[in-house]
Amino acid sequence: MSQDLASLAKDRGIRYFMISFTDLFGVQRAKLVPASAIADMQKDGAGFAGFATWLDMTPAHPDLFAMPDATAVVQLPWRKDVAWVPADCVMDEKLVLQAPRTILKNIVANAAARGLRVRTGVEAEFFLIEPDGAGISDAKDNASKPCYDQQALMRRYDVIAEICDYMQELGWHPYQNDHEDANGQFEMNWAFDDALITADRHSFFKFMVRSIAEKHGLRATFMPKPFPNLTGSGCHVHVSVWDEAGNKNQFHDDDDEMGLSKQGYHFLGGIMRHAEAIAAITNPTVNSYKRINAPRTISGATWSPNTVTWTGNNRTHMVRVPGKGRFELRLADGAANPYLLQAVIIAVGLDGIESKADPGKRLDIDMYALGHTVKDAPRLPLNLLDALRAFDKDVSLKTALGAEFSEAYVNLKQQEWNSYTAHFTQWERDATLDI
């Protein structure tokens, strides 16, 4: 049962509620509502103009109302008089079917109707950079192999520890933080949970990291590839499926060599079958394809895939099985919409279970060194346009995500691609001015 936000405000000393929803491009939109007005907002929603956000709407559309989900309210640990509340979008008293959180909730419900409870964890990587975006924020962080660098990590202790402390306070059960493979790059991990909870936390995490970075005079970015010669920021997703009560891992089978059940293999098969199409959502920006199709970085490896392959405990493939009863999708990047990321994984996984999809042959080779020897593995899209075309051709995936969303997403992302191609670059002048 949803709690009364007005009473919560009185009990916790909350002065304002940030009613927030995430649009199709992953941008968080919010209204700051005083506690004195929250009862009305909880009943009727906070009003927005959908066209003013990245939703496929026009100025002629009626008001969009963000209905706060009081079961998921988060009191800001660094500003306790404010609470963040994820919201579901409504228009003309109907849910907006292109809204990312609604899409995820509908797909979670589809899984539940099959007696399945999808649980996921994300590994969110980000850079701490200078406020103007010119470079990383720590001039001393210049090692050629900076991953797990102890000194560099401790020079950013104040930022990382503050964020981790807040995650502990919120009950997320964080368990490790590290300096990642690029200079200025970090990763923070917290416990896996039901997909909607993970998506809400992922969304809030990005807001929190940016806020705390700004508090310390820095800037945080989840951009997939902000620096050409450095490893990009991924967002690896660990996936398992449980029974409805959440007691039995349906992917776990001790008798299997990889510790995966037949259902787990079929779910994985769905991901492999739809990989080129889901890239439009897991890797949603022009810049995303600078990460998954990158040349070797100064550390010696990109740590990102470029082909549709899976393996055991081997980080050079798109999917790895690091332990029994789960697998890790390494395709997604930091730009991925937290809600659409979860939704598309579950959608293709359910399709794989339904059709008993075969994930294909497991490859145990180093794909970075020997990938050229694999002739039958599909390549991931080379750019956003290729990914959008693959998505648009995938009828079953578009049906699972919903026609309204699929049309809206392709329309807005095509506009984004057109805007990109209309932009003249310095490379064009350098390479072709004298032709």
Q: What is the block-wise mean pLDDT of the chain (435 residues), using blocks of 10 residues?
A: 88 98 98 98 98 98 98 98 98 98 98 97 98 97 97 98 98 98 98 98 98 98 97 98 96 97 98 98 98 88 95 97 97 98 98 98 95 94 98 98 98 98 94 93
CA 149 to chain centre: 25
CB 400 within 8 A of CB 353: no
Strands (E), 113-181: 116-129, 174-179
Q: Count of alpha carbons within 13 Å of 156, Cβ hemisphere only?
A: 36
Residue 327, classified by CB atoms within 10 Å of its CB into exposed (0-12), middle (13-18) or buried (19+), is buried
Name the 3-class secondary structure at 153: helix
pLDDT at 2 (0 to 100): 66
Cα 284 from Cα 24, distance rounded (Å) = 10
Alpha-carbon torsion angle 95, 101, 107, 108, nearest 10? -120
CB 236 within 8 A of CB 345: no
Cα 179 from Cα 316, distance rounded (Å) = 20
Residue 239, classified by CB atoms within 10 Å of its CB into exposed (0-12), middle (13-18) or buried (19+), is buried
Alpha-carbon torsion angle 350, 112, 203, 344, nearest 10? 10
Largest CA distance in the chain: 71
Q: What is the pTM of this model?
A: 0.97
The two tokens of residue 355 are 């059709």
CB 33 within 8 A of CB 19: yes
Based on DSSP, count helices (H) and strands (E) in the chain, helices before strands.
15, 16
Cα 294 from Cα 224, distance rounded (Å) = 11
Nearest to 18 by CA among 63, 77, 82: 82
pLDDT at 296 (0 to 100): 85
The two tokens of residue 184 are 């200025």
Name the 3-class secondary structure at 87: strand
Strands (E), 210-252: 219-221, 235-243
Cα 130 from Cα 220, distance rounded (Å) = 9
Cα 38 from Cα 330, distance rounded (Å) = 40
Cα 277 from Cα 379, distance rounded (Å) = 12
